[in-house]
Amino acid sequence: MSFSSFGLSPFLLQALAEMNYERPYPIQEIAIPAILTGKDVLGIAPTGSGKTASYVLPVLTQLSMSKGETRNRHIQSLILVPTRELAIQVEEVFKTFARSFPNPLKVKAVYGGVSINPQMKAMMGVAVLIATPGRLIELAESNAVHLSAVKSVVLDEADKLLNLGFQEEMQRIIGWLPEKRQNLLFSATLNDKVSEVKQILLRDPLVLKIETEADSVELIQQTAYRVSDARKGPLLRYLIRSRKMKQVLVFTSSTFKADQVVEKLRKNNIDAQAIHSKKSQDARNKVLRNFKAGHLKVLVATDLISRGIDIEFLPFVINYELPRSPKDYVHRIGRTGRAESTGEALTFVTPEDEHHFKIIQKKMGKQVPFEETDGLDLNGY
């Protein structure tokens, strides 16, 4: 199945082709056609499964085809998210595709922790609003935005929205929405709260469930390397060269470290680039396109940006630094071993990391074999 079979806007199809998105992910194959027909959807899918594009593409198609003028400050599509980070991430995806239209739809993300005044002024002409519940209520109560014309509402990471004390806020927001609308819920799990909201919010929904990344861990060959922090750089370069790696995704825990790793790789004549939140969206898109196309050997990423990195048949993932969360570890290594293909995940573990890595293995339900590196001659690397 291809994206062209769904009935998406030709402008979006062109954008997908330019970004080298050749085939839809399983959740997209099911969700996109259903959303385009106006059906309510409940998608149970892990982060990294392609769920964001599964609603962004049909929502933009629907809005681009809608006729009639809309009143100012009356948004047409509302995306509710639990965190500022996710709001920014979803906004980037919407903007990436929205700019492909001759008359781009205005997209805006709003969230707390920053001044509300610039966000109030920015509501003029917004068609798609991505919002955290608290800030949305503040804007609505100030008459900076109106929800009476909303055609579609998306609850992204609904399980987190409903488990972080947002219940009262969610009830108020839902009460402001028009009765006739399309409802889309996406959640990592179908817990009691999500099931309850499904009964209240959704009308005869299509329910789809995508396997978690943990289910595909068995496809991934994992190896951990005991290494001192000072020897990580030489070990990384040694592995890339000795294993003749042509495409490898390296994870670090900070933007600073990502840039530092890239700098050292380049000094050693290894083609590498970083992708993280301090890079512009255009720069990120260009780097990712080059990496997906095989024109870039090493991509160094942080966890925040990794959510948008989905590459079939990626042979290697290297954890230069461990993530804080075991879930993030599974998500990272899940970039390889996709489409029923095998892949390798290599993890650097310092003495200080040993305890945390034991927790990761326990949560994952899988023991990772270790290789010692003390006796490895890394001179020249």
Considering the domain architecture, whether residues 230 and 170 belong to the same structural domain is answered as: no
Considering the domain architecture, whether residues 205 and 235 belong to the same structural domain is answered as: no
% of the chain at pLDDT higher than 90: 54
Considering the domain architecture, whether residues 281 and 351 belong to the same structural domain is answered as: yes
C-beta separation of 7 from 61 below 8 A? yes
Structure token pair of residue 348: 């650097």
57 or 364: which carries more pLDDT confidence? Answer: 57
C-beta separation of 53 from 77 below 8 A? no
Query: Per the domain annotation, does 381 fall within a domain?
Result: no
For residue 128, what pLDDT is reported?
Answer: 96
Query: Per the domain annotation, does 304 fall within a domain?
Result: yes
Query: Per the domain annotation, does 257 fall within a domain?
Result: yes
Considering the domain architecture, whether residues 182 and 90 belong to the same structural domain is answered as: yes
Considering the domain architecture, whether residues 98 and 159 belong to the same structural domain is answered as: yes
Residue 103 has pLDDT above 90, yes or no: no
**pLDDT (average), residues 136-148:** 95
Give the mean pLDDT of the chain.
Answer: 87
Query: Per the domain annotation, does 21 fall within a domain?
Result: yes
Q: Which domain holds residue 297?
A: 213-372
For residue 306, what pLDDT is reported?
Answer: 58
Type of residue found at 68: G
CA 208 to chain centroid, in Å, comes to 19
Give the chain's domain count. 2
Residue 337 has pLDDT above 70, yes or no: no
Considering the domain architecture, whether residues 168 and 259 belong to the same structural domain is answered as: no
Residue 42's DSSP bridge partners are 185, 207
**pLDDT (average), residues 269-281:** 86
Considering the domain architecture, whether residues 107 and 250 belong to the same structural domain is answered as: no
- Quick one: angle between helices 133-141 and 167-176, nearest 10? 40
Considering the domain architecture, whether residues 231 and 152 belong to the same structural domain is answered as: no
**pLDDT (average), residues 7-16:** 92
CATH number, domain of 140, equals: 3.40.50.300
Tell me the pLDDT band of 162, cut-offs 50, 70 and 90: confident
Considering the domain architecture, whether residues 164 and 260 belong to the same structural domain is answered as: no
Residue-wise pLDDT for 44-76, tens only, equals: 887 667 789 999 999 999 999 886 566 788 999
- Domain end marker among 209, 234, 249: 209
Residue 364 has pLDDT above 60, yes or no: yes
Residue-wise pLDDT for 112-137, tens only, equals: 888 999 999 999 999 999 999 999 99
Distance between first and last Cα of the chain: 45
Give the Cα separation of 183 and 84 in Å (integer). Answer: 22
Give the Cα separation of 216 and 206 in Å (integer). Answer: 24
Residue-wise pLDDT for 25-37, tens only, equals: 888 999 999 999 9
Type of residue found at 115: S
Residue-wise pLDDT for 164-216, tens only, equals: 667 788 889 989 999 999 999 998 777 777 777 777 778 888 888 876 555 56
Considering the domain architecture, whether residues 38 and 178 belong to the same structural domain is answered as: yes
Considering the domain architecture, whether residues 255 and 343 belong to the same structural domain is answered as: yes
Q: Which helix (H) or strand (E) holds 38?
A: none
